[in-house]
Amino acid sequence: MRPGPRNLITDVAGLRVGNAHDTALRSGVTVLTAGRPFTAAVHVMGGAPGTRETDLLAPDKLVESVDALVLSGGSAFGLDAASGVMAGLRAMGRGFAVGPALVPIVPAAILFDLLNGGDKGWSENPYAGLGSAALAAAAEDFAIGSAGAGFGALTGNLKGGLGSASAVLDSGFTVGALVAVNALGSATVGETRHFWAAPWEIGDEFGGLGPAPRYPAQADPLPMKRMGEATTIAIVATDAALTKAQAHRLAVAAHDGMARALVPSHTPLDGDLVFAAATGARPLADPLTDPFQLGHAASACLARAIARAVFAATPHPGDRQPSWQNLS
């Protein structure tokens, strides 16, 4: 596989991503949307998730497609970002038709960034406004690193961030990943600058350092955050025509990429979650081989996107953790 032209999830034709963040708040929102509704599913492996409208993504539920997916900071407060996105979509005439009423379908997931040094003394929840702004900014090109939902993210040892990556398969399908990395675990090996995801790096997309020459002795990990303070939330997407059940399997497979890139991952203290999105532009040619390859590509893309998030994070005054680029 090779990266798409942008090496972003928007290499999946038709998808757009928008970011909005508040520097003083040290938090933000990222929205993925498209020109028309798309199939979506979700799989949660963390022990402390925060979500909205995820039950309807189950294969047996009525609604077959969604209008947008939201990744947000702010812990439970951040779920209100979906309200701003819904309002914006409704103004565009988008939504699930119930008689004359339109109800935009906007599942969301949040990460915890309330203790990162930002000004959280607001009297009115700011996340609906950030969601609205992120939707308005949605485009094929968008920033990664300290942007959107990853603006205030932290990992076990370094600043986190927003990451994305893509891959074009020999079969012609495109797969992409988008992730806000706020993990309890670490994206790098011990005290080195080498990423756990290095075996899946393409070119020098996150520094080109390759795997660590040898893994240093690792002490048994201890949690550096408390229950609910961590979470990595992600979206994997493809242009393949998938059912909700097939999209769910894509999300399940993508969690392998999270485990490859963050050590440890899927802990009781994280709310690790992966959405899957399928635009349906390309029918499956082989009902066994194509889903198999799509799942592998999704996991590889997510591992790369996680490393790119930490690699691209930039320092800001008052940071409580160093950024990767400050490591010697």
Report whether pLDDT(31) > 50: yes
| Average pLDDT score over residue span 284-311 | 97
Q: Contact 290/278 with Cβ under 8 angstroms?
A: no
Amino acid in position 274: V
Return d(Cα 157, Cα 322) in angstroms, integer: 8
Strand partners for 179: 163, 234
Residue 55, judged by CB atoms within 10 A of its CB (0-12, 13-18, 19+), counts as exposed
> What is the band of 308 on the pLDDT scale with cuts at 50, 70, 90?
very high
Q: Contact 278/254 with Cβ under 8 angstroms?
A: no
> What is the band of 164 on the pLDDT scale with cuts at 50, 70, 90?
very high
| Average pLDDT score over residue span 286-298 | 96
pLDDT of residue 217: 63
pLDDT of residue 227: 46
pLDDT of residue 44: 95
Mean pLDDT of the chain: 93
pLDDT of residue 268: 81
Query: Per the confidence metrics, is the pTM higher than 0.75?
Result: yes
Return d(Cα 236, Cα 151) in angstroms, integer: 20
Return d(Cα 105, Cα 103) in angstroms, integer: 6
